[in-house]
Every structure is written in C-alpha cells, then in structure tokens.
Copies of this chain bind each other. A is one copy, B any other.
Amino acid sequence: MQTLENLLNHKTIRNYKPDPIDEKTLNTILEAGFRASTTGNMQVYSVIVTKDEAKRKELCKLHFNQKMVEQAPILLTFCADFNRFNKWCRQRKAEPGYDNFLSFFTAAIDALLVAQNAAVAAEDFGLGICYLGTTTYQADKLIDFFNLPKGVVPVTTLVVGYPAENPAQVDRLPAKGVVHYEKYADYTPQDIDEIYAEKESLPETKKLLEENQLETLAQIFTQNRYKKADNLHFSKVLLKVLEQQGFMNND
C-alpha cells in the first residue's frame, strides 16, 4: 500500500533545491495526470510548463512574490480549456455549445483532477509540490502572460521540485467534522467547538495570535489571510475573466 502511504504522508513543500527535473520524469508525471478521469473523455484542459528562469521570475511576481515560484525548477499551470475542443468541433461540421458557465466548471473539474494526479505522481518521484491559490486571483494577468485564447482559463498552479526542507505534517480537522452519513448533519455550536479544538490548541496557533495581536484564530483568516474586500475584488476579476474568455453566454 505504497500509494496510500504516499497520500497519507503528503506535506506541502515551500523551499526547493534548484536541481532540474529530467524530461522523462516530467513527461511521466504529466502522463499520470492525463490518466485522471475526464468528462466524456473530452480532456477539456491544457497544462502549461514553465521552466525558463526569467519566466519563473516574472511568474513569481504575478503569484504575490512567493519565493518558491522562482526557486523551484518547474511550474505547471493547469487550465480549463474548451478552445482545442471547439476548434475540433468546427473543423468537423459540429457546432460547439460550450461557451457557458456549466462548460467552464466541467473543464475546471477536469483540470483539477489532472493537477492532483500530477501532484501525487510527482511525490512518488521524491519531488515536493505546492499549489498556488493565487492562480484564480491573477487569472487575468496569467491569461496575458501565457497568451491564452478564448475558451482557456487558468485554474490552479503546481510548484514542483526537489524539497530543500522536511517540514512536520500539518494538522487536519478530525474526520467526523468533515464527513456526513446519508444526510448533511448541520453543526451545533458544540460541534464547532469540538471540531476546531485541536487546531485552536496548537502551539503554532498561540504563536500566530501573539504575532498578529488577535484574539482568535478565525480572526487571522477573516482579518489577515482571506479578507472580505480581497475576496470581493478577486470574485469580480474571475467573473470578468469568465466573460472575456467566452464562458458566460448562458441565455
């Protein structure tokens, strides 16, 4: 059960050695990605590989200056992509009807399953990975950067490289806080206290609260990390991107 062990031992890596990843390894990681389930076997996604050092430095700026973005040898940007499929349809006397929100979301699901397969495959090679949530925040800028045509939207990015650190595994909520049986059992105030008790009692949490001079861990999220004003701003960016890339013709 090496696979299960790999999955259960996952750690996000944020410091990388500059060592390159050989072509065969990269190709195998991508092949493993493309074996993920895909809606109707349409494969409505694309992956953009960034190796070039100058381009990694530019991408680093776009991804909010997270140093690992220029440090690691490879970035994989996963895109929802109906462009290729639409072109194929038009070249084959078929009129595509994929310029709508459902089609975008279908393609995004496809792209994300590929990304997670690639992440698991990379770790099997002893590589480390980190997902960049900044991909959706900066979708408009990444579209310019990569020259993405209509029908293509970046949905996530994987940093991939050999780890230069071996961090402790981070906490997760107890499974009973995340799993429901048969029906969704909504949370009572007592449930919430129990589910978050361990996380709140961690030494890291206490340190964070002192550093940020805040009373609760939840405030670190709402006031520092994922603020309402930022979320609203990036919601508008992302919805505008969907429109510009031709995925909001819903009538």
Tell me the A residues contacting B by CB distance below 8 Å: 1-4, 6-10, 12, 27-28, 30-32, 34-37, 39-43, 45-52, 55, 79, 83-85, 87-89, 91-98, 100-103, 105-106, 108-109, 112-113, 115-117, 119-121, 123-125, 129-131, 133, 136-137, 146-149, 152, 155-156, 170-173, 175, 177-184, 186-187, 189, 192-193, 195-196, 215-219, 221-223, 225-229, 231-232, 234-236, 238-239, 250-251
Partner of A112, one of B43, B113, B239: B113
Query: Knowing that A88-B195, A101-B239 are A-B contacts, what are 11 other residue pairs whose CB atoms are under 8 Å apart, sorted by A's residue number?
Result: A3-B124, A4-B125, A34-B173, A35-B172, A49-B181, A92-B218, A102-B136, A105-B136, A109-B136, A109-B155, A112-B112
Q: Which residues of B contact A112 (CB under 8 A)?
A: 109, 112-113, 116
| Closest partner residue, chain B, to A229 (CB atom) | B97
| Closest partner residue, chain B, to A181 (CB atom) | B49
Partner of A49, one of B9, B34, B96, B180: B180
Contact in complex: B221, A94 (CB < 8 Å): yes
Q: Which residues of B contact A170 (CB under 8 A)?
A: 41
| Closest partner residue, chain B, to A236 (CB atom) | B250
Q: Which residues of B contact A109 (CB under 8 A)?
A: 112, 133, 136, 155-156
A101 to chain B, nearest CB (A): 4
Contact in complex: A182, B49 (CB < 8 Å): yes
Contact in complex: A119, B37 (CB < 8 Å): yes
Q: Which residues of B contact A40 (CB under 8 A)?
A: 133, 221, 225-226
A117 to chain B, nearest CB (A): 6
Contact in complex: A235, B43 (CB < 8 Å): no
Q: In the complex, A181 Cα to B50 Cα: how many Å?
A: 6
Say whether, besides A100-B235, A221-B94, A250-B239, A37 and B51 are in contact (CB < 8 Å): no
Q: Which residues of B contact A96 (CB under 8 A)?
A: 222, 228
Contact in complex: B222, A97 (CB < 8 Å): yes
Contact in complex: A181, B88 (CB < 8 Å): no
| Closest partner residue, chain B, to A76 (CB atom) | B179
Q: In the complex, A49 Cα to B89 Cα: how many Å?
A: 38
